[in-house]
Amino acid sequence: MAGAVPRLSDDPALRAARDALAARPLSALFEADPQRAQRLQCAGAGIDLHYAKQRVDDDAIAALVAFATRCGLHDRIRALCDGETVNSTEQRAAQHMALRAQPGEIWMAQGERVDEAVLSTRERFLQFAEDVRAGRILATDGGPFSDVINIGIGGSDFGPRMVCAALAPMAHGPRVHFIANVDAAEREQVLSGLDPARTLVIVTSKTFRTQETMANAQSVRHWLVANLGEAAVARHVAAVSTAIDAAEAFGIEASRVFGFWDWVGGRYSLWSAVGLPIALALGRAAFEQLLAGAHAMDDHFRCAPAAQNVPVMMGLLAVWNRNLLGAQSLVIAPYAQRLQRFIGWLQQLEMESNGKGVRMDGTPVPDATTAALWGDVGTNAQHAFFQMLHQGPDAHPVDFILPIQPDHDDHEQQRLLIANCLAQSAALMHGRSVAQVQSALEASGMTPQAAERAAVHRHLPGNRPSSTVLLERLDAWHLGALLACYEHRTFVQSVLWGINAFDQWGVELGKRLADDVDAALRGERAAGLDAETDLLIQRVLNSAA
């Protein structure tokens, strides 16, 4: 039960494990235990988690697993899988796993079977994608679509945009473009390269009322109508939404509106018709592989015991770092250029899910919740913020994510990429003591006095934790497994904090106030917020005048 969730940082076994490790740096743990690297790893659904460079030992893992058991993790996973009302503030299930359903399986959401609707909707949007790709669905002039624009934001953008980028070498359909920002600069940039006669537009919005998406959808609709006439809307626009009536009211033909369900959170939705841009770019087979990889991870998550369960262990390590070691952030460092957009997707997934301060029972969370997630791809990140990771005063744990096999033929550069990834986690862990630096400098000819002065600046404290997440290659199946793994990791943390990972009330106020400020900018009424906001509005109005 949520109300019974104990306080992590007060747990005697966790505190004892943490205190016992305080005087034992990672390098000492490795020296004392030749089997450490062998033992502190687990694998499932093609994802290997190596966590020997985390500041844990067997006692810490046992205490974390025991704590998770006291929080009812096993029952909460079962409740999630069974489609129970885990999103208690919105009275909904969070049944994104059903979107990965394979034929013949039974999936429920709040007591209703959902697998048939999932499979039939999947068939509809995959068939639509195949028909567009094969030139069976055509533009108003009878020619094929060469380009697709997805208009959506947040969960209606991050997932499909990230998957299309990650699997770009497999794309052999129409080019897919994305417009999310209400800053028209993004829209202008996308439209400037496109021929409306060859462009299919998808408006993706769970609610079909998100300000940014509706503004961009109206503008792109004008662009189509101005160039091709009103009739083009029916042939050139499709929609993905739970609000089917609103999509049809926008003028989109019913056969081109693809639904999903309120038990799918926006940030968990790429597996639904929200993934239509993926299917258009990559085709049915790749989309089904993506689902199959995620489904394999779902099975692993549901069945593997905690200590061998990759997403469970990732979630436990996350709360360990956050609540026992006080880490403020988690760095995501994929050593794969094509995973650059994975970071943005994961930021929404984790911080919109777990950026909460109140437990499901309405009481304040007594522990800190989500760490801030940030990062960039290696090796670029090494030349940006890794200096801070090595020598800054705070330890920021890192998830190194490494697909081993490249999808190009440059094996030499792939070797260099891998070398850098493995070297960075080793450098963070080992560090370099003042004495080591000093003797190296003296050996290179420096005087002892100069070496002593220089060593203070050049030493690295080490003992900085990281995990290494390996996948064989970045194909659709492994990507699906990786994404599902991070989805489940997010849920595990929420269980240990006793919070609801599936609502997002925090984003509502800003949306409402943006409407008030917009009215003030249009001169309709005062925003009535505060003196500085009024001053800023006035400054903007003066600039416009």
Q: Which residues bind ligand F6P (CB under 6 A)?
A: 153-156, 205-207, 210, 213, 266-267, 352, 504, 507
Between 203 and 317, CB nearer to ligand F6P: 203
For residues 278 and 286, what is the distance between their CA atoms, to the nearest angstrom? 9
* CB 398, CB 355: distance < 8 Å: no
For residues 310 and 488, what is the distance between their CA atoms, to the nearest angstrom? 9
Between 155 and 334, CB nearer to ligand F6P: 155
127: Cβ contacts below 8 Å, ≥ 6 apart: none
For residues 361 and 365, what is the distance between their CA atoms, to the nearest angstrom? 10
Catalytic residue status for 352: yes
Between 153 and 324, CB nearer to ligand F6P: 153
Catalytic residue status for 508: no
Token representation of residue 243:
């609000």
**DSSP 8-class letter at 339:** G
Between 210 and 500, CB nearer to ligand F6P: 210
Distance of CA 164 to the CA centre of its chain: 14
Between 155 and 462, CB nearer to ligand F6P: 155
SS3 273: helix
Instruction: Give the shortest CB-240-to-ligand F6P separation in angstroms.
Output: 9
Between 16 and 249, CB nearer to ligand F6P: 249
Catalytic residue among 172, 222, 411, 511: 511
Between 115 and 352, CB nearer to ligand F6P: 352
Structure-token match 């076994």, residue found: 13
Catalytic residue among 84, 212, 350, 352: 352
Instruction: Give the shortest CB-461-to-ligand F6P separation in angstroms.
Output: 38
For residues 526 and 523, what is the distance between their CA atoms, to the nearest angstrom? 8
- Sign of the dihedral defined by the CA atoms of residues 176, 181, 182, 183, in that order: negative
Sequence-ordered alpha helix ranges (H) in 352-475: 353-354, 386-391, 411-430, 434-443, 448-458
- Sheet containing strand 398-405, edge to edge, reads 41-44, 47-50, 466-473, 398-405, 329-334, 372-375
For residues 265 and 247, what is the distance between their CA atoms, to the nearest angstrom? 18
Catalytic residue among 230, 383, 411, 472: 383
Count the neighbouring beta carbons within 10 Å of the beta carbon of residue 467.
24
Catalytic residue status for 116: no
477: Cβ contacts below 8 Å, ≥ 6 apart: 46, 289, 290, 292, 293, 296
- Sign of the dihedral defined by the CA atoms of residues 167, 218, 90, 5, in that order: positive
Between 150 and 504, CB nearer to ligand F6P: 504
Between 335 and 345, CB nearer to ligand F6P: 345
Helix (H) or strand (E) holding 539: helix 531-544
CA dist 511 → 22, 199, 212 (Å): 44, 31, 10
Instruction: Look at phi and psi of residue 22 and say left if phi exceeds 0, alpha if psi is from -120 to 50, else beta.
Output: alpha
Query: Which positions are annotated as active-site residues?
Result: 352, 383, 511
